[in-house]
Structure 1
Amino acid sequence: MQYYTKRAWKKEVLELYLDPLFFHMDPSCTCHWRAIIDHLLTHEKTMFKDLMSMQSSSLKLFPSVEQKPMLLKSQAFMFSGELDQYHLYLPLIQERLTENLRMGQTPSIAAQMFLMFRVLLLRISPQHLTSLWPIMVTELIRSFVRLEKSLKEDKEALKTKARGAPEKNGVLTFSPSDLDMYLSACKFLDMAISFPPERMPLFQMYRWAFVPEVDVDSYSGPENHLLEGEQECAPHISRVLEALQRRYGELNGVVGESSTERLEFPVLTLRSLSSITQLQPFLHTLSCSFRGRPGNSDPSDPWPAAVYPAHCSEAVLRRLEVITEGEFLSSMEG
């Protein structure tokens, strides 16, 4: 009877799931749809493989430029089951991610890929993600390098670039898809940092590449002079923050909605960006949260450090779940 019932609604569920308006649901419906999709994937032996192997051209109801990003978003929503429920499919997942990278990315595709990375961190145990970390870290570095380069480019060169163009007052602007990509990349970094260290041990080996962990100004250890021609290795957050400040100047801690009101990770709660400068509070918080002892930040500092690790790991994980689930419904707002 259960099989007959499922067969009756399977076709309708798939049509709704791949409909352009699927994610325009009320937030209260999300848990129900997660259960429905999870039930379908669990009881249909080939359904997960079929959906992961689906080509973006299958989404004929979407405009062509939106097909691949929306397919990635739909595939990310499939990971709505229990922890490690789909870890046996990781080789297939990694194969599909690699294919997307090999075929080239648009900012919209990159944004959805970072969302999928975040879902994987939540749904797959760290010991199963070993082979994926090099891919995830490489894409994160690629995004920060691209942002840094865009901020440093000459204004004349910017006029011919699709990534951004200077306004009449000389302020660099980014396209909405670029802003989504950079926000998505920062949210992935925010999540990776937010996890209790014992729950994300492999990332600890990569963290130094993104956030400064030593207060160079107050360092009193053995001197380490750079040889002629050498450059100091600065974390990507420091490099992007420096480029932002050179382009826009110091913003004195006031950039619309502050993403640093919470002093525990995750700290980035913005749902969208209207300006790249809105990332500055987040970048400042990262730049000062790992360089000293917890709780030593100046309360009057406009860029306070966040407590790390958080006092309650379970509360952090719950917040990450809520924030990530909301990402799928972001298009309903605005």
Structure 2
Amino acid sequence: MTKLSAAMKAWRGPIVDILNDNRCFNSSAEGGKRWRVLVKMLFETDKTALTELLSRITTAPSANIFTNREYEMLLRSLNLRRLSYVLLTGEKNQFLTQLPTIQEKLVDTLRSVTAPIVQSEVYLCVRVLLCRLSPHNLSSFWPVILTELYRVFEQVTGSLPSDGSEELGLILAASKLLDLLLVLQTEEFQIHQWIFITDTVDAVYRPDQWSPAAMLDCLAEIVGELPSEGSSKHLDHVVSTSPTTPSVGTRILRRPFLRNLHQIDSIRDLVPFFNQASIAYYESVYSSDGRVDWEAVEEGLYEDMFEGR
């Protein structure tokens, strides 16, 4: 039906209405997958649709004093999530020509909007871009990505968020982005990963009088000293998650460590990730031979979009 131009008028309106509905992402990940063919075709045939969506992401705040600030940030976050969904439905490099505008909108949002709910969506969108664009096409994006990731984690080392705070969602989003970067192991990231993890044999065999230098190792030590009271139920999901998984025969594929974690109630919930990231990914590089479980990566993206809100 999507290939018949005469039928486009029949399905275009309902698809636009569904995508623009604020309840769109309340459905399941499977529901999101079922709509992806129509969404993909909509943005392939309507060349103005993506431009319109991008314009709504950085719309200037209303001057109306009665406007609810929280609701305004929620709308921005939803528009960012719509962008992530649209990009995910596309083919590899399908939106390459629009990348400069997309990048500009994301960078502007990171630098001008401090609301954690909005910044979290930017990190989700970057994860989608990593899956839908060839790594070399994102070369100009790396300075911003690395700087913002470091900023988020550095703030945690200076001031740990309280249980239940809205900053936890942002920290989880940043951790998931870093998690994916460690899985993909692109050349552009490998030269910088030492900032976040110990990527040498010291990760496995720590020398005497070893002290943490990488960001996640420092966080593991700082957060690990917190009392264990009130530790969240989500811990079990993280501990049971391995960065590699058997596929066919003895073939091993790398997959995200945090793929089953969609919400945290305490910074303690990320202790297993902080503790194991260095050693897990050092070992996975040799056990997986660079192969990535793309099915698990994309499944995690759909679950974060449609089950995380």
TM-score, normalised by the number of residues in structure 1: 0.75
Bigger drift between 109-118 and 262-271 goes to 262-271
User: Is 1:255–1:277's contact at 8 Å kept on the other side of the alignment?
Assistant: no
Q: Any idea what SS the aligned residue of 2:239 has?
A: coil
User: Is 2:53–2:83's contact at 8 Å kept on the other side of the alignment?
Assistant: yes
Higher-helix-fraction structure: 2
Please give the residue correspondences for 1:251-266 in structure 2 after superposition, counting only pairs within 5 Å: 256-263=235-242, 264=244, 265-266=255-256
- Aligned match for 2:113, one of 104, 107, 113: 104
- Aligned match for 2:150, one of 138, 141, 146: 141
**What amino acid is aligned across from residue 260 of structure 1 in structure 2?**
V
Q: Distance in 2 between matches of 1:67 and 1:209?
A: 34
User: Is 1:108–1:181's contact at 8 Å kept on the other side of the alignment?
Assistant: yes
User: Is 2:183–2:281's contact at 8 Å kept on the other side of the alignment?
Assistant: no
- Aligned match for 1:39, one of 32, 38, 41: 41
Name the residue aligned to 1:276. Answer: 267
User: Is 2:234–2:261's contact at 8 Å kept on the other side of the alignment?
Assistant: no
**What amino acid is aligned across from residue 288 of structure 1 in structure 2?**
I
Deviation at 1:111, TM superposition (A): 0.9
**What amino acid is aligned across from residue 273 of structure 1 in structure 2?**
I
Q: Distance in 2 between matches of 1:64 and 1:251?
A: 33
Alpha-carbon displacement from aligned partner over 1:183-216 (angstroms, at most 9, x marks no partner) = 1111111111111x3xx11010110000012428
- Structure 2 segments unaligned to the other structure (5+ residues): 62-66, 245-254
User: Is 2:212–2:218's contact at 8 Å kept on the other side of the alignment?
Assistant: no
Q: Distance in 2 between matches of 1:251 and 1:11?
A: 48
Alpha-carbon displacement from aligned partner over 1:46-83 (angstroms, at most 9, x marks no partner) = 22222112246699999323111111111111111111
Higher relative contact order (CA 8 A, sep 6+): 2
Deviation at 1:234, TM superposition (A): 1.6
Q: Distance in 2 between matches of 1:103 and 1:64?
A: 14
Q: Is 1:131 matched up with 2:120?
A: no
The change in CA–CA distance for 1:31 and 1:309 in structure 2 (over 3 A counts) is: farther
Name the residue aligned to 2:96. Answer: 87
Q: Considering only aligned residues, what root-mean-square deviation do their CA atoms show, in Å?
A: 3.1
**What amino acid is aligned across from residue 104 of structure 1 in structure 2?**
V
Please give the residue correspondences for 1:7-46 in structure 2 after superposition, counting only pairs within 5 Å: 7-46=9-48
- Aligned match for 1:192, one of 159, 168, 181: 181
Larger Rg, first or second structure (1 or 2): 1
Name the residue aligned to 1:225. Answer: none
- Aligned match for 1:63, one of 46, 57, 71: 71
- Aligned match for 2:82, one of 65, 69, 74: 74
Name the residue aligned to 1:178. Answer: 167
User: Is 1:258–1:281's contact at 8 Å kept on the other side of the alignment?
Assistant: no
- Structure 1 segments unaligned to the other structure (5+ residues): 152-163, 165-171, 221-231, 295-306
**What amino acid is aligned across from residue 278 of structure 2 in structure 1?**
S
Q: Distance in 2 between matches of 1:30 and 1:11?
A: 17
User: Is 1:209–1:235's contact at 8 Å kept on the other side of the alignment?
Assistant: yes
Q: Is 1:239 matched up with 2:229?
A: no
**What amino acid is aligned across from residue 54 of structure 2 in structure 1?**
M
Q: Any idea what SS the aligned residue of 1:213 has?
A: coil
Q: Is 1:49 matched up with 2:26?
A: no
Deviation at 1:142, TM superposition (A): 1.1
Alpha-carbon displacement from aligned partner over 1:81-116 (angstroms, at most 9, x marks no partner) = 111111111111111112212323211111111100
Name the residue aligned to 2:199. Answer: 213
Equivalenced residue count is 283
Name the residue aligned to 2:252. Answer: none
Q: Distance in 1 between matches of 2:297 and 2:112?
A: 30
Bigger drift between 47-56 and 264-273 goes to 47-56
Deviation at 1:121, TM superposition (A): 0.5
User: Is 1:261–1:267's contact at 8 Å kept on the other side of the alignment?
Assistant: no
Q: Distance in 1 between matches of 2:12 and 2:181?
A: 36
